[in-house]
Structure 1
Amino acid sequence: MTLFLNSLLKELIIVNRLREYRIKASISQLALAKSVGVARQTINLIENNKYNPSLDLCIRLAECLQTDLNTLFWDSRHL
């Protein structure tokens, strides 16, 4: 199973729509950070592609922004 997931992840194109969805939801970096249990600087680093969040954090961000992981971080249109 892990081997399958690893090969699938290599095919996915990573994108970062966090800032777009946060602004669309009218949520500040600080409010989003508090909602998911991280520092505001962590949100800033993710939005600027300087930090790769864990899967757990990605899930919490997607839930907070009322979207799904595929929409927020991955583009699988090229599979």
Structure 2
Amino acid sequence: MLNQRQFDALYTWLQEPHQCHAQPSKNGWRYRCNHTFQHTAVWLRRQGLEVESHLTHLRALGITCDCSILSTLIDWPTS
């Protein structure tokens, strides 16, 4: 599983314009998302990490896509 430093790097990367493009709005944050783990999977592969086990872990917690990571998680879930 990811450690906190890796999760922080993923979280920051997902916020960038070519990924989920996190932007503040009047009602919180707004994201551009295709409601998949497309960007998370790319990041995991680039880090040499196993994609499916990480995505399975996220899905088990009710996280459904890249923007859901940004809108739901602050830390990487360890349990």
Answer whether TM exceeds 0.5 for this pair: no
TM-score normalised to structure 2 length = 0.32
TM-score by length of 1: 0.32
Structure with bigger RCO (C-alpha 8 Å, 6+ apart): 1
**Max Rg structure:** 1
